[in-house]
Amino acid sequence: MENEEDLCRAFAPRIRLYGLRHLRDEQAAADLVQQVLLIMIESLRAGKVRDLDKLPSFVLGTCRMVVLESRRGSSRRERLLEKYLPRDWAVSPEPLAGLDRLAPCLRALAERERTVIMLTFYEEHSSDMVGRSLGLSNENVRVIRHRALGHLRKCITGAAK
Amino acid sequence: MSCAHPIEPAALANYWLAELPSSEESALEEHLMGCESCARELEQIAALAAGIRALARQGALKMVLTQEFLDRVAKQGLRIRQYAVSPGGSVQCTVTSRDDFLVSRLAADLRGVERLDLVLCDAAGAELQRFADIPFRPAEDAHVFLNYPVSIARQEPAHTLVMKLLSVTPNEERLVGKYTFNHTPS
């Protein structure tokens, strides 16, 4: 059986992403990581999860539950923190290689691509909202966005090699 | 660790922007939670989004923006210095150390325009930079917003910058509006 620390290292980045996607806040996502890992450890030690192949589903279900609970204002965090983890425990996201090249890579995009990317990711706006703002259709925004992301990724990773 | 059934980058972007139907979103989340490789791909989109937000807040890019975008950054407490100019008009302008965004607001009648280029020229009319095929609303009372990076503007001496909006077709370029900015350091 993998040890608890390995499991925490494996799941922490994925829980953080789930948190960022649903809570749109780095601190809230970091809190979610701690809470879900604590519940995971508690459940493993209690023998509630025996089949590790089912652990991803268990962790995802826990993420969903904790996000719902946090929206209701209740939390088991403090009690669990006391029991299992040191207070300074945290997982830092891995930086994207070549991110320092982002500004020149954005400058290299076509105008429409740059504007669509900026409006989209500044506040994670849907293609519908961006389209209305620019007088473009949903589909058009998605096509431009997809093409722009491809150009950006190629530019950034190319520069990182 | 590679994935036998990697999620398409477009689907990951759609997921990140909450644009997937809930059934697809749920299935994708199941996959992501069990797949290190695809989670790393999503991590890249998240990092890209964070980097773009940071650059946007710095007003670091010379680019076309929208009124809605400027309204949002203003609500977040960033300071926007905006100069509105009508076609054929001119304005005295500057930038201070307190400004986060320096924006030119160009009014234009863009009805019937298919492709719009924004050209920056010096006082003699020589083209300095062209923004080809910019996004716009084809309306009678349209506006084009150009963010000019404050970090660049603060370094510039007194000078005149002319902006031109051009309606472009395969056969010709038609001047829609000419806007003159007389810049003085603060």
Interchain contact, A121 vs B18, CB within 8 Å: no
Q: What is the pTM of this model?
A: 0.81
> What are the tens digits of pLDDT across the range B20-32?
999 999 999 999 9
- How far are the Cα atoms of A11, A115, A131, B61, B87 from residue B104, in angstroms, in the given order? 47, 16, 22, 14, 12
Domains of chain B: 9-56 (no CATH), 59-183 (2.60.40)
Interchain contact, A21 vs B15, CB within 8 Å: yes
Query: CB within 8 A of B6, min separation 6: which ones?
Result: B37, B38, B41
Is some CB atom of chain B closer than 8 A to the CB atom of A153?
yes
Among residues A38, A24, A29, the alpha carbon closest in space to that of A77 is found at A38
Interchain contact, A133 vs B66, CB within 8 Å: yes
The ranges assigned to domains in chain A are: 4-84, 99-160
Show pLDDT as tens, one digit a residue, over chain A (161 residues).
Answer: 468 889 999 999 999 999 999 998 888 999 999 999 999 999 999 999 888 899 999 999 999 999 988 777 655 555 555 555 544 444 555 556 666 789 999 999 999 999 999 999 887 888 998 998 888 899 999 999 999 999 998 898 875 54
pLDDT of residue A86: 46
Q: What is the mean pLDDT of residues B110-126?
A: 95
C-beta separation of B37 from B5 below 8 A? no
The residue written with tokens 């994708």 in the block is B28
Nearest to A134 among B42, B46, B66 (CB): B66
The mean-pLDDT minimum among A89-93, B89-93, B151-155 falls in A89-93
Q: Which residues of B touch A115 (CB under 8 A)?
A: 63-66, 134-135
Q: What is the mean pLDDT of residues B153-160?
A: 95
Secondary structure (H, E, C), B90-115: EEEECCCCCCCEEEEEEEECCCCCCC
Give the domain A99-160 fold.
Arc Repressor Mutant, subunit A (1.10.10)
Degrees, nearest 5: CA angle A160-B4-B10? 60
